[in-house]
Amino acid sequence: MFASASTTGDPRATNSNRPGVHPFHVGVEPDGSAHGVFFLNSNAMEVVTQPTPALTYRTIGGIIDFYIFMGPTVDQVIEQYTAVVGRPFLPPYWALGMHFSRSGFASSDQVGSFVEHVRRMG
């Protein structure tokens, strides 16, 4: 797995946030009990679901943080997971407007055309 929005080569990207890949697996057993597995690593990785049942995690290196959440319910697994990674945040209503990303534009001319289009639309 690789993060897809690479900023390699962009001098403005120094010390900026970058996307990452952090697989989180929730397993539910036939009796209804649940567990979670969270693999945190900043390097390229591969996760394979085996038929045994088993998961195989491979990474090319780096610091590994590996968490197992014992549940025993799905709700408790999610509660334990969000205690590690942080709770969701609902922003104020005024912040939930239209948002656009830089990734859809190839040039500043395209950005200017888009801005003009949005202004015409009101």
Q: How many residues appear in the chain?
A: 122
Residue 103 lies in a domain: no
pLDDT tens digits along 28-79: 999 999 999 999 988 888 888 888 888 898 998 888 999 999 999 999 999 9
Residue 80 lies in a domain: yes
Residue 98 lies in a domain: no
What pTM was computed for the model?
Answer: 0.64
Residue 100 lies in a domain: no
Residue 118 lies in a domain: no
Q: Is the separation of the CB atoms in 68 and 36 below 8 Å? A: yes
Total tally of structural domains belonging to the chain? 1
DSSP at 12: G
Q: 18 lies in which domain range?
A: 11-87
Residue 27 lies in a domain: yes
